[in-house]
């Protein structure tokens, strides 16, 4: 039960970090740090989004991010197209086998 609380708190943290990122001026971020938020030892990397924040990555409707720095590496949502997700992960040097948990926030009928 304590582990689930920890993951729930982490998910809340993701939403707060993403909300903060959406409010900040994208021109202020350094190019290498776009799409990555780090607080202490936790990092959140956006893998899939419909916002073109990183020219290396393909965009499409949906969202996915990778959360590292806690006990497990979490893929939070997976976007709407698996091929795009895997391609973006490869471009960022992320191995899918390093993911411990996949968290789907809601039914993705869209």
For the chain, which residues make up each domain, given as ranges?
2-103
The residue that leads in pLDDT, 107 or 24, is 107
Instruction: Write down the pLDDT at residue 42.
Output: 86
Instruction: Write down the pLDDT at residue 71.
Output: 85
58 φ, ψ (degrees, to nearest 5): -80, 140
User: What is the value of pTM for the model shown?
Assistant: 0.64
38 φ, ψ (degrees, to nearest 5): -130, 130
pLDDT in tens, 45-88: 999 999 888 999 999 998 999 999 888 999 999 988 999 999 99
83 Cβ contact list (under 8 Å, min separation 6)? none
pLDDT in tens, 18-42: 555 444 444 444 545 566 665 568 8
């Amino acid at each position: 039960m304590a582990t689930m609380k920890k993951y729930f708190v982490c998910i809340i943290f993701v939403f707060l970090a993403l909300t903060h990122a959406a409010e900040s001026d994208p021109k202020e971020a350094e190019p290498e740090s776009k799409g990555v938020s780090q607080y202490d030892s936790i990092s959140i990397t956006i893998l899939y989004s419909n916002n073109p924040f990183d020219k290396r990555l393909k965009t499409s409707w949906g969202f996915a991010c990778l959360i590292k720095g806690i006990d497990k590496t979490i893929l939070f949502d997976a976007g709407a197209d698996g091929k795009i997700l895997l391609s973006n992960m490869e471009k960022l040097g992320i191995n899918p086998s390093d993911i411990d948990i996949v968290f789907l926030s809601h039914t993705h009928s869209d």
